[in-house]
């Protein structure tokens, strides 16, 4: 239980999620695999935070637009010629659906946390 309590302590620090978001942004420049791993880590800890804190999710229209676009991509499976290529394309664009869900369940970002994201992103890319 000590590990779980340490993780929960880290999750409650105000700089934890800005660091993870800066990591995801920094790995976008490297390639598909590192950015997918970073996005997976951010997704995991976002879900963990939501489950542990029993936070209520408020739907925001702006974040539902990319999710609906991804649903439209999924619907293209019905009229595609090459299903294998379509599934491969859906795998590569899954972040279009995952990122808005992450921002729906993350705690609200204020100006200070936004500045932290930019600061960590800048330091990581120097």
Do 124 and 83 reside in the same domain of the chain?
no
- Report how many domains make up the chain: 2
pLDDT at position 65 is 92
Do 67 and 30 reside in the same domain of the chain?
no
* Integer Cα distance of 125 and 89 in angstroms: 28
pLDDT > 70? residue 43: yes
Do 92 and 49 reside in the same domain of the chain?
no
Q: How confident is the model at residue 1 (pLDDT cuts 50, 70, 90)?
A: low
pLDDT at position 109 is 81
Biggest CA pair distance of the chain:
53
Do 50 and 18 reside in the same domain of the chain?
yes
Burial label for 85, CB within 10 Å (0-12, 13-18, 19+), is: exposed
pLDDT > 70? residue 42: yes
Do 2 and 40 reside in the same domain of the chain?
yes
Q: End-to-end distance of the chain based on CA atoms, in angstroms?
A: 38
pLDDT > 80? residue 40: yes
Do 47 and 70 reside in the same domain of the chain?
no
CA angle 50–24–30, rounded 5-degree value: 160
The whole domain housing 120 covers 1-55+110-126
Do 45 and 30 reside in the same domain of the chain?
yes
Do 22 and 44 reside in the same domain of the chain?
yes
Do 43 and 74 reside in the same domain of the chain?
no
pLDDT > 80? residue 5: no
Please state the pTM of the whole predicted model. Answer: 0.80
């Amino acid at each position: 239980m000590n590990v779980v309590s340490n993780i929960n302590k880290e999750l409650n620090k105000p700089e934890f999620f800005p660091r993870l978001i800066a990591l995801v942004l920094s790995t976008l420049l490297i390639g598909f695999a590192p950015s997918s791993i970073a996005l997976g880590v951010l997704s995991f800890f976002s879900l963990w935070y939501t489950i542990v804190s029993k936070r209520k999710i408020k739907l925001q229209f702006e974040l539902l637009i990319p999710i609906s676009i991804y649903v439209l991509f999924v619907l293209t499976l019905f009229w595609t010629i090459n299903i294998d290529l379509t599934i491969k394309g859906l795998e590569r664009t899954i972040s279009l659906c995952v990122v808005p869900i992450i921002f729906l369940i993350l705690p609200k970002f204020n100006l200070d946390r936004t500045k932290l994201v930019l600061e960590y992103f800048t330091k990581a890319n120097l």
